[in-house]
Amino acid sequence: MLELFLSQILNGVVIGFVYALIALGFSLVFGVANIINFAQGALLMLGAFLTFTMVRLGAPIAVAIPIAIVITTATGMLIERLALRPLQNAPYIAPLLSTLAIAIIFDAAAEMIWSAEIQAFPSPLSKYVVFVGSAYLTGVDFLIIAVSLGVMAGLMLFLSRSWMGKALRATAQDPEAATQMGINVPLMRQFSFGLAGALGALAGVLIGMYYMSVFPQMGIPYGLKGFAAALLGGLSSIPGAIVGGILLGIFESLASGYVGEGWRDVIAFSVLLAVLIVRPHGLFGNKSLDALGGASGATGGIPTTSVVASMAGATGRTKQRVLEAPLLVLLAVIALFALLPVLSGSNYLLQVGTQAAIYAVLAVSLTLLTGSAGVISIGHAAFFGVGAYAAALAGRNWGIPAEAAFLLAGIAAAVFAAVLYWPTIRLSGHTVGLATLAIGQIVYLVCLNWVDVTRGPMGIPGVQRPSLLLGIDMKSLTAQYWQALVVLAIAVIIAFAMLNSPIGRTWRAIREDRLAAHASGVPVSRYLVLVFLVSGFLAGLAGAQFAFLQNFVSPESFMIDTSIVLISMIVLGGLGNITGALIGGVLLAMLPEVLREFAEYRMVAYGAILLLLLRFRPQGLAGTR
Amino acid sequence: MSTSITRARPEALIIDKVTRRFGGVVAANALDFTVPQGEFLAVVGPNGAGKSTLLQMISGVIRPQEGEIRLGGRRIDRLHTEAINALGISRTFQTSRVFPMLTIRESIMVGTQVGLIGGGRTPRRYGPVTELISALLRLPGYRARVAAAEARAEEVMKMFGDRLWPRQNDQAFSLSYANRRRLEIARALVQDPDILLLDEPAAGMNPSETDELTDIIAELRRIRPGMTIVMVEHKLQVVRQLAERCIVMAQGTVIVDDTPAGALEDPRVIEAYLGTRRSAAAFGKVNADG
Ligand SMILES: Nc1ncnc2c1ncn2[C@@H]1O[C@H](COP(=O)(O)OP(=O)(O)OP(=O)(O)O)[C@@H](O)[C@H]1O
Ligand SMILES: [Mg+2]
């Protein structure tokens, strides 16, 4: 018993040093550029895979690692230059989503280059073993500790002694004063991204050696863990990062030892959430996390918490141009689409059409939450998933007829959304994105690991479609298509009624300036819970429709990829705009079908679309509202 | 020592030995005074005197570290900003906080929301779920209340002549600096507050705009004499014309509490303004404006 405990603690400490390295990269960028860099994990993955490739091509690992670090450093600096610097005066959601887009592009590109499989990573030192009682440490463990301590000591010296280091710190403290002292602040920001890239690459290599494997999707989980460690440590000091990393390592090691390996990440992300909510300044921190984020905060003149204010790109005009179709027009278009089965008997078209309708419902659901109420939701797939599982389980385990399962799915997702997102009410700026991403990951991992209920990765087959509705046999694909359109029409009607009511106006006021909303007497929490409920309900309906269409539910449909596709959809259409959400939802849902031969590039395409939109048309196709 | 000029009116607001520090700076140092109901109180003082901090504390944006703030006998300094507003205290911000993407009309309607659903001063009418259902189904009772609020918003917009009313569908980000201030004042006024807190309402306005605003506030005094107003203002002309009482703050304390005429001629006030180089500049601004 004690042996297990001891060995888990040892494991935790070792991996904790790696987390500390990632955490330092985060802290550096957060301090200097005031942004939560979601691409940090992608750089980590890149460093690991570059090393992996060079070794496979025959390079000695000791040569491969430095080269990988140099390339990753350059990549980090390039990301800053291409994806962030142009967005300096954009609202704070833009740089955040920009790093997210980069992360997803890297992730998807890596899957294409190296396949989605786990790859064996060279780890020559792991054969040396030292026993500590019945626990043991390998050569890799010693390497990790030595390298991490060495790097941190070096970084500390660099920051306190060298001119560059001092300039970095000055920029972090007060960019304006730094500019006046002749420090090239944009260069410092770029430099911090480079440093973060180097730290990330190093961490990636060490993780590869530690687990003797690497996989293309490792960026997001390790990025999140690095951030959890940074947050635990208070985001500002190197010793803080070490302590935060080690604490996190120990937590999750104990969790994997006593609860099961599958729960390791659930615990890590829960720690992240808990710290965000309970102690956003970290255990020892003094650095405030409530910065709006973005290189220069929100906008110049007007104080605002808006995610869309300058996305409208309409300064100077008295009213920006927005394309918003009246409700009846939208319903008429949906009715036109209902004619499709009459015109063509193609099952393929019906399948695609149903998918598109489901995505359109999800986009409408997300645009209420993120577009109108300004709550950046990077975990929206969670509520889609809750709806799908609720519908599947209702029929299979509880014998509830599929017709009622629809309603149940909506309600379950609404309740989950309200409960899970409740803690985000207290958060501000980028941290909302971080928290919702973590929540999305937790829900996905729970679906994956709670095998008793969800059957884990095997999924739930044989989901029964509703049988009979108004005398129509609902089992056919045609009927499913119509059913999806009805769900879409309901979603549009609800969203329309909400947005054009005082409730919708209040959501937008909260988005635009939360403090002013409070001061105007708006009970902000109440209206945020309302938007969680409505948005969750619609996502749940979409989930149920998805389960019925596929006759099957499994966790992989509700991964972060889905959440990011949804964000791309609503940014493409124009945030907070229902017409836009429908356009964006349908267009991006059709994209992989239209470009069939490029279907495997779809995540890269989604990421690229998001990135380009943020840069060149942040108001989207139809305009933000 | 301060000369209080309280009359036989019930006390609306009691500031009871309220202290607030920011690091080493004492922004409010045991502030202690009362504001009778219906009084027009002006607060002046050099930059950094703690005037805005006082309003922030009354409205619950910042919490005092020591002391109490009471509204009609009820302690409010531990309440949330929105709860304080619901009790009848409305405010504007020194850095006008408008809702950039909302139109003028929408922004003012946001001010009516708390009255619509009730709570605080008025009985609670709509819980979250009842409001959701009412809005979704557009139930007549809810719609009638919204219509009444719209009517009130129109009334308030028209108070500002042709400044807001013709632009009611313009988005707030497109407004001039002066119009943003008017919009904020309108958003507060539509709530028909018992206490109105104004933080430099005339800042950034030219002399004729300042006169126009002064007239609007004077008119407001005429139609709502019961409304207590606390106004921070650097333009002493505005203070002279509107206020009944004037508190002069410096370095977190009240140094003079008198009629506007008395306070502004007090030698201690001149000294406070000239105390620092930064303040001297402010005094120059005051003279130029006033
Ligand atoms: N949130 C804050 N954090 C740190 N210091 C603050 C904060 N708010 C106010 N202060 C400090 O408290 C002091 C009083 O500020 P306050 O804004 O109340 O002054 P003021 O009288 O309104 O000045 P002004 O005429 O410039 O508006 C100043 O020294 C200011 O720097
Ligand atoms: Mg002030």
Q: Are B88 and B194 within 8 A, CB to CB? A: yes
Work out whether the CA dihedral A226, A228, A232, A235 comes out positive or negative.
positive
Which residue of chain A comes nearest to B101, CA vs CA?
Answer: A309
Which residue of chain A comes nearest to B113, CA vs CA?
Answer: A522
Asked if A505's CB is within 8 angstroms of B85's CB, the reply is: no
Asked if A309's CB is within 8 angstroms of B80's CB, the reply is: no
State which H helix or E strand residue A341 sits in: helix A340-343
Nearest to A520 among B85, B120, B174 (CB): B85
Residue A547's Cα: distance from chain center in Å? 23
The amino acid at B186 = A
φ, ψ (nearest 5 deg) of residue B28: -140, 120
- In this structure, what token pair is assigned to residue A148? 């991490």
Q: Smallest CA–CA separation between A577 and chain B, in Å?
A: 13
pLDDT at A276: 79
Please work out whether the CB of residue B48 comes within 6 Å of at least one atom of ligand 1: yes
Mean pLDDT estimate for chain B: 88
Chain B residues whose beta carbon lies within 8 Å of the beta carbon of residue A501: 135-136, 138
- Residue keyed to tokens 């004063």: A177
- Report which DSSP code applies to A309: G
| Distance from C-alpha of A15 to C-alpha of A20, rounded to nearest angstrom | 9
Question: Which of these CATH numbers, 1.10.3470, 1.10.10, 1.10.12, 2.60.40, describes A327-616?
Answer: 1.10.3470
- Report which DSSP code applies to A476: S
Ligand 2 ion: residues within 5 Å (CB): B 52, 94
φ, ψ (nearest 5 deg) of residue A134: -95, -10
Does the pLDDT at position A593 exceed 90?
no
Q: Residue length, chain B?
A: 290
Does the pLDDT at position A579 exceed 50?
yes
Nearest to A506 among B110, B171, B187 (CB): B110
Nearest to B26 by CA among B45, B60, B54: B54
Asked if A508's CB is within 8 angstroms of B106's CB, the reply is: yes
pLDDT at A454: 79
Average confidence (pLDDT) over A540-564: 89
List domains and CATH numbers for chain B. 11-269 (3.40.50.300)
Average confidence (pLDDT) over A474-481: 81
Q: How far is the CA of B232 from the centre of ligand 2 (A)?
A: 8
Atom of ligand 1 nearest to the CA of B53: 18
If phi > 0 it is left, if psi is from -120 to 50 it is alpha, else beta; for residue A320 that is beta
Average confidence (pLDDT) over A343-348: 82
Does the pLDDT at position A222 exceed 80?
yes
Please work out whether the CB of residue B173 comes within 6 Å of at least one atom of ligand 1: no
Task: Quickly state the pLDDT bin for B277 (edges 50, 70, 90).
Answer: very low
φ, ψ (nearest 5 deg) of residue A180: -65, -25
Chain B residues whose beta carbon lies within 8 Å of the beta carbon of residue A494: 136
Please work out whether the CB of residue B283 comes within 6 Å of at least one atom of ligand 1: no
Query: B243 or A7, which is more confident?
Result: B243
Asked if B98's CB is within 8 angstroms of A302's CB, the reply is: yes
Establish if A498 touches chain B: CB-CB under 8 angstroms.
yes
Chain B residues whose beta carbon lies within 8 Å of the beta carbon of residue A512: 99-102
Per-residue pLDDT tens for B138-184?
999 999 999 999 999 999 999 988 899 999 999 888 888 889 999 99
Beta-carbon neighbour count of residue A419 at 10 Å?
12
Q: How far is the CA of B117 from the centre of ligand 2 (A)?
A: 32
Nearest to B114 among A304, A522, A533 (CB): A522
Largest separation between any pair of C-alpha atoms in chain A: 80
Nearest to A509 among B93, B102, B167 (CB): B102
What percentage of chain B has pLDDT greater than the value 90?
66
Which among B173, B185, B198 is the top mutation candidate for probing chain A, defined by the most A β-carbons within 10 Å of its own β-carbon?
B173
Q: How far is the CA of B182 from the centre of ligand 2 (A)?
A: 18
| Distance from C-alpha of B149 to C-alpha of B28, rounded to nearest angstrom | 37
Asked if B113's CB is within 8 angstroms of A529's CB, the reply is: no
Q: How far is the CA of B52 from the centre of ligand 1 (A)?
A: 7
Q: Smallest CA–CA separation between B73 and chain A, in Å?
A: 21
pLDDT at A453: 80
Q: How far is the CA of A160 from the centre of ligand 1 (A)?
A: 32
| Distance from C-alpha of A254 to C-alpha of A275, rounded to nearest angstrom | 18
- Please check whether the two domains, A2-295 and A327-616, share a CATH topology: yes
- Residue keyed to tokens 């509700």: A558
| Distance from C-alpha of A502 to C-alpha of A508, rounded to nearest angstrom | 10
Question: Which of these CATH numbers, 3.30.70, 1.10.3470, 3.40.720, 3.40.50, describes A2-295?
Answer: 1.10.3470
The amino acid at B232 = V
Establish if A505 touches chain B: CB-CB under 8 angstroms.
yes
Chain B residues whose beta carbon lies within 8 Å of the beta carbon of residue A312: 101, 173
Task: Quickly state the pLDDT bin for A296 (edges 50, 70, 90).
Answer: very low
Average confidence (pLDDT) over B212-230: 92
Map residue B230 onto helix, strand or coil: strand
Q: Are A156 and A27 within 8 A, CB to CB? A: no
Q: How far is the CA of B132 from the centre of ligand 1 (A)?
A: 40
Domain ranges of chain A: 2-295, 327-616
Cβ contacts below 8 Å, chain A against chain B, sum to 143
Per-residue pLDDT tens for A144-180?
889 998 998 898 888 888 888 888 888 887 878 888 8
Asked if A308's CB is within 8 angstroms of B93's CB, the reply is: no
Atom of ligand 1 nearest to the CA of B200: 27
- In this structure, what token pair is assigned to residue A36? 């939560």
Does the pLDDT at position B23 exceed 60?
yes
CB-side exposure of A40: number of CA atoms within 13 Å?
33
pLDDT at A284: 60
Q: How far is the CA of B22 from the centre of ligand 1 (A)?
A: 9
Average confidence (pLDDT) over B30-38: 93
Helices and strands, counts by H and E, chain B: 11, 10
Task: Quickly state the pLDDT bin for A204 (edges 50, 70, 90).
Answer: very high
Rounded to the nearest 10°, the torsion over CA A486, A487, A492, A495 is: 150
Cα separations in angstroms, A118 against A59, A115, A200: 21, 8, 19
Asked if A497's CB is within 8 angstroms of B85's CB, the reply is: no
Asked if A302's CB is within 8 angstroms of B180's CB, the reply is: yes
Which residue of chain A comes nearest to B134, CA vs CA?
Answer: A501
pLDDT at A314: 41
| Distance from C-alpha of A611 to C-alpha of A624, rounded to nearest angstrom | 17
Does the pLDDT at position B256 exceed 70?
yes
Which residue of chain B comes nearest to A493, CA vs CA?
Answer: B136
Atom of ligand 1 nearest to the CA of B94: 27
What percentage of chain A has pLDDT greater than the value 90?
29
Mean pLDDT estimate for chain A: 84
Q: Provide CB contacts within 8 A for A38, sequence distance 6+.
A: A96, A99, A100, A102, A103, A223, A433, A437
Asked if A518's CB is within 8 angstroms of B114's CB, the reply is: no
| Distance from C-alpha of A573 to C-alpha of A620, rounded to nearest angstrom | 5
Q: Are B279 and B44 within 8 A, CB to CB? A: no
Which of B15, B18, B51, B54 to mutate to test ligand 1, by most ligand atoms within 8 A of the CB atom?
Answer: B51
Per-residue pLDDT tens for A394-432?
877 787 777 788 899 999 999 999 999 998 998 876 788
User: Which of B259-268 are b and which e, b meaning 16 or more Cβ less than 10 Å from the residue's Cβ?
Assistant: ebeebbebee
Query: A624 or A89, which is more confident?
Result: A624
Q: Which residue, by CA, sits nearest to atom 26 of ligand 1? A: B47
Per-residue pLDDT tens for A310-336?
554 444 455 667 888 889 999 999 989
Q: How far is the CA of B185 from the centre of ligand 2 (A)?
A: 16
Q: Which residue, by CA, sits nearest to atom 16 of ligand 1? A: B50
A 307-346 near B (Cβ less than 8 A): 308-309, 312, 314-320
Q: Give the number of the ligand closest to the Cα of residue B273.
A: 1
